[in-house]
Structure 1
Amino acid sequence: MASFRLRNNRWQARVQRNGQKDLAKSFLNKPDAEKWARSIEIEIDRGSYINTSYAQKTLFKDLIQQYLKEVTPTLRGAPEDTYRLRKMMRNPIAELNLTELTPNRIANYRDERLKEIKPNTVIRELAYISSMINHARREWGLGIINPVAQIRKPSQPKGRERVLNDAEMSRMLHELEKINPFLKPLCEFALETAMRRGELMSLLWMNINFEKSVAFLPLTKNGDSRYVPLSTKAIKTLKLLPRDIEGRVFPLNKGTVSIFFLRAARRAKVDDVHFHDLRHMALTKLSVKFTNILELASISGHKELKMLQRYVHIKAEDLVIKMG
């Protein structure tokens, strides 16, 4: 039930209910205090009351900091997540308390960020915000509705369709070989296996089975392990490589690989190409051999076939040959 008392020339209303923390708020006059108390009691009785006290006294940047301390270190992408979340803390939105983090505010944040960065990156940032709020709702007693769930997300940009022709690929490999002896075999192996850059960088000799012609990936991007079949050319590429003392097949840094790849592209006069395009090219080629989409997904590691379709680019003229 509610109780009221005059304190320091203000009327304090206090609502007490079993199973709920006592709720108190002060008003200039008693009718307003009674009105507030009745509305709280009705919400509690209906089961629709949400306690926003934690949200009112917590800034968004404080929530991010707590998430960085307790949650981010347990995630696989911790270094990248930490960098992005610390950058978000410098945005004006981080100075709002959590009750001010309304759908309208999030929508404005989305629109401002779209002026600065690509839609994919904005979608990722919104996902970060949504994950933090959902975690706080589950674990820390945050009493607000997730505002990200109530706004329109930016449209997914069309998947890249860049496929290098033979002449471009030949020039690229020639330049890559001059930069670092591991770069050319890395790219040749990527074109044969459709493995992701991170998977290639973490590949160990101990997980290569030459007898069965498979490579074992203990932990992939989606959190699962995977066996990747190796073609004759992939096996040949591996056997020509020197063994690194650390046991890595390709002892290179992920960031360095991207930088070297772009440098080789400039020297080879190949425009609009990224290392990840090799995965597109490999899956497109493999899709001709493996017409069963589930077989192709087992090679690529895709859980969602819709995502796999974005990577595979089949030419109509190739289908004509199959139609007869």
Structure 2
Amino acid sequence: MASFRQRAGKWQARVSIKGFPTETRSFNTKADAQHWARELESAMTRGVYKNLADAEELLFRDVMQRYLTEVTPTKRSAKRETEGIQFMQRSKMASYSMAKLTPATIAEYRDQRLKTVSAGTIIREICILSSMINHARREWGLAIDNPCALVRKPASPIGRNRLLKADEEARLLEELKPRKRRSPWMVPLVTLALETAMRRGELLSLRWEHIDLATQTALLPLTKNGTSRVVPLSRKAVAVLAELSRSDYGPVFPISHMTMHNCFTDACKRAGIKNLHFHDLRHTATSRLAEKLPNVIELAAVTGHQTIQMLKRYYHPKAETLAQKLG
């Protein structure tokens, strides 16, 4: 039942139905109070009632912060996700209450970001937004719908197929040689990337206690796929590792992600190499390994791809090479 009374110059509506918490709200006019009460009673009767009191007071920025504190640290991609959430906390979208967060709000954020970043970045950010809202609904009892479910994501970008050419490789390695303040780790790091097709994170997480030069293997206890993998090492890869200052314990490459990125980018500029990312070395290495390992199962065991479809994205055969095989 709904009851109404005037209080402090406003009309207060009170809805009390058995089995539901009592709801109270104030309005400027009695008509508005009656309309709200009818809508609320109808929702309770139809079983679609949601208590939006918490959602109306809670800002999206606060939800982001709690998620950043409680959930993000448990993820392997914590650092990257932290940077993304901290950026979104500074956006206009973060100032909305959770009850006022609509698909149009998310779409406006998407359109603004598309002016400065790629579609791939936007897709990742919308996924993070959706995860935060769903977590708040499931774990924190926030009674709202997820507006991200109704927002159109940009078309996925076409996968990169940039390969490092032989002449570019020579110029790149020359520019990476340790001179003055240049890192002594970059030449062996890039060489190993081209020999093993390991990801950047896998290379930087390599530890001496997981490397066995006698059996030509390197253990990766935890990969991007969430599983462990043993990487076979070519004779060239073994030679590269043998030349490094080895210890029984510790990282093979004591260099940070940012330092590695800056060194690689600067070397590409000095070498006159355009549009090359470090991850393109994985594409290059996979394509080269495919010539030695025509069995796709063996190739996937080396590269760590769990599906043939994903492996296909990294294998870019040259048309002239295929023509020679055809005869």
Q: State the TM-score, normalized to the length of structure 1.
A: 0.90
Residue in structure 2 matching 1:272, options 263, 272, 275: 275
Structure 1 contact 244–251 (Cα < 8 Å) conserved = no
Aligned twin of 1:65: 65
Distance 1:294 1:34 in 2: 68
Give the partner amino acid of 1:159.
G
Aligned twin of 1:6: 5
Q: CA deviation at 1:284?
A: 1.2
3-state SS of the aligned residue for 1:180?
Answer: coil
Distance 1:152 1:182 in 2: 43
Q: CA deviation at 1:180?
A: 2.9
Q: CA deviation at 1:34?
A: 5.1
Give the partner amino acid of 2:139.
E
Q: Does 1:311 align with 2:314?
A: yes
Give the partner amino acid of 2:3.
F
Q: Does 1:227 align with 2:203?
A: no
Q: Any residues of structure 2 matched to 1:96-107 within 5 Å, and which?
A: 96-107=96-107
Q: Show structure 1 runs of 5+ residues with no match.
A: none
Structure 2 contact 209–249 (Cα < 8 Å) conserved = no
Give the partner amino acid of 2:263.
F
Q: CA deviation at 1:27?
A: 4.5
3-state SS of the aligned residue for 1:186?
Answer: helix
Q: Any residues of structure 2 matched to 1:61-100 within 5 Å, and which?
A: 61-100=61-100
Structure 2 contact 211–219 (Cα < 8 Å) conserved = yes
Aligned twin of 1:176: 176
Distance 1:220 1:76 in 2: 10
Distance 2:264 2:272 in 1: 12
Aligned twin of 1:320: 323
Distance 1:29 1:182 in 2: 72
Distance 2:322 2:48 in 1: 57
Residue in structure 2 matching 1:189, options 189, 192, 203: 192
Give the partner amino acid of 2:5.
L
Q: Return closer, same or farther for 1:89/1:298 CA change in 2, 3 Å cut-off.
A: same
Distance 2:276 2:2 in 1: 69
The count of aligned residue pairs is 322
Distance 2:221 2:11 in 1: 64
3-state SS of the aligned residue for 2:177?
Answer: helix
Aligned twin of 2:266: 263
Aligned twin of 1:141: 141
Could you tell which deviates more after superposition, 75-84 or 165-174? Answer: 75-84
Distance 2:297 2:51 in 1: 47
Could you tell which deviates more after superposition, 172-181 or 161-170? Answer: 172-181
Q: Return closer, same or farther for 1:40/1:171 CA change in 2, 3 Å cut-off.
A: same
Structure 1 contact 189–237 (Cα < 8 Å) conserved = yes
Give the partner amino acid of 1:15.
S
Q: Does 1:253 align with 2:253?
A: no
Structure 1 contact 213–231 (Cα < 8 Å) conserved = yes
Distance 1:79 1:105 in 2: 26
Distance 1:143 1:304 in 2: 38
Structure 2 contact 11–28 (Cα < 8 Å) conserved = yes
Stretches of 4+ aligned residues off by more than 4 angstroms: 27-35
Q: CA deviation at 1:215?
A: 1.1
Structure 1 contact 16–23 (Cα < 8 Å) conserved = no
Structure 1 contact 13–34 (Cα < 8 Å) conserved = no
CA displacement, residues 234-261 of structure 1 (integer Å, 9 cap, x when unaligned): 1122112112586211122211111111
Q: Return closer, same or farther for 1:266/1:280 CA change in 2, 3 Å cut-off.
A: same
Structure 1 contact 14–25 (Cα < 8 Å) conserved = no
3-state SS of the aligned residue for 2:265?
Answer: helix
Q: Return closer, same or farther for 1:251/1:288 CA change in 2, 3 Å cut-off.
A: same
Give the partner amino acid of 2:17.
Q
Q: CA deviation at 1:95?
A: 0.8
Distance 2:293 2:221 in 1: 24
Q: CA deviation at 1:279?
A: 0.8
Q: Does 1:283 align with 2:282?
A: no
3-state SS of the aligned residue for 1:215?
Answer: strand
3-state SS of the aligned residue for 1:82?
Answer: helix
Q: CA deviation at 1:59?
A: 0.9
Q: CA deviation at 1:282?
A: 0.5
CA displacement, residues 67-126 of structure 1 (integer Å, 9 cap, x when unaligned): 112112222222332222122111111111112221111111101100011212111211
Identity of aligned residues (%): 46
Q: Return closer, same or farther for 1:262/1:232 CA change in 2, 3 Å cut-off.
A: same
CA displacement, residues 150-200 of structure 1 (integer Å, 9 cap, x when unaligned): 111111222222212211101111121233332111111111111111110
Q: Return closer, same or farther for 1:22/1:258 CA change in 2, 3 Å cut-off.
A: same
Q: State the TM-score, normalized to the length of structure 2.
A: 0.90
